[in-house]
Amino acid sequence: MYEEKQTFKWSQALFWGITLMTLLPLLIFYKKEDGLLALTIVGIVLLLTGGLFFSMKQTIRIDEQGVHFKQRPLINNFKIFPWSTIQSWELSKINPIKDFGGWGIRYTGSKTGYIMEGDYGLELTIGTKKKIVLSVKNRVEVERMMKKYSK
């Protein structure tokens, strides 16, 4: 069995940078009551967005049953793709921005991507047309386990 966990580690620095760049001008330029309301609304939105980013965690497991994954807080229970439903698989280098338009759960014309911090994508063809891409960090170990368990 192989299990891998991914988070948005880089998002903390990005979040705090955006928060400071947004809130400091509001604090400096708005000292009236309206400014306090704007500051409060922006602060609440930033904290909710930051909370979502900080809580996101993707877990991928490969074992004799199939490929399992979850992406908290949006997908809390493991989704499983049994080996009998996986028609083919491929591991390739991915660029989240170029290939999927960003991170998180991403939909392109022909694929659904669950993209976090991994540099590689495990593309699973399910049935005849459905393609799922899971970002993975450890390409060597994922490839070894996929060869071990897949037909």
Mean pLDDT is lowest, of 83-97, 116-130, 136-150, for 116-130
Q: Give the model's pLDDT for residue 31.
A: 62
pTM for the structure as a whole: 0.76
Are 2 and 143 contacting, i.e. CB atoms less than 8 angstroms apart? no
The structure tokens listed for 145 are 């386990």
Tell me the range of 20-29, 38-47, 88-97, 109-118 where mean pLDDT is highest.
88-97
Tokens at 54, concatenated: 């900080």
Per-residue pLDDT tens over the stretch 34-78: 666 777 777 788 777 777 777 788 999 999 999 999 988 888 899
Determine the Cα–Cα distance for residues 15 and 27; give it in Å rounded to an integer.
18
pLDDT at 124: 96
CA distances from 93 to 36, 46, 54, 76 (A): 47, 32, 25, 27
